[in-house]
Amino acid sequence: MKNALRISCSRNNLKVVRDFVTDYLAAYHLADLQLNQIVLAVDEVVANLIIHANAEDESQHLDLALRVEGEMFGIEILDQATRSYRPSSYQEPDLQEFIRQGKKGGMGMTLVNRIMDRVEFTTSGNYNVCRLFKRIAI
């Protein structure tokens, strides 16, 4: 089973990522709800990295690696973006204020943090690393 993928930073590759995660997790027979939540969270993070960190520069790449250890699903996403995209400084917005103002964006990481059990953003050498973890019922 393939557990690694490299994509260029193009929105066109989001479907490739969704299919990659779905196909990998198919072997674990997850409930549709849990599978769809994980795919949604990964899609949101990858979209943010493509759009905000890499400015949709197709000469840049994201490397994804999936694994399941015991009952824990993990995904690691690496890029070499030099833009100042700092999701680790993310502060959950005031939902009531968003509603009052009629804002339509900016809620993706809130969703990711609620779906996943743990979300980490770090830097290692020239790489930005995002790790997402979710306990799965096997």
Long-range CB contact pairs, 117-126, < 8 A, 24+: 121/86, 121/87, 121/88, 122/88, 126/80
Which positions ≥6 away from 123 have C-beta within 8 Å? 129
What is the SS3 assignment for 134? strand
Ordered structural domains, the chain, with CATH: 4-135 (3.30.565.10)
Full pLDDT tens readout for the chain, 138 residues: 589 999 999 999 999 999 999 999 999 999 999 999 999 999 999 999 999 899 999 999 999 999 999 999 999 999 998 765 555 555 565 656 655 666 556 678 888 999 999 999 888 888 889 999 999 976
Tokens standing for residue 76:
């690691």
Q: 39's torsion region: left (phi>0), alpha (psi -120 to 50) or beta?
A: alpha
Largest CA distance in the chain: 47
DSSP state of 126: T
Cβ pair 123, 58 in contact under 8 A = no
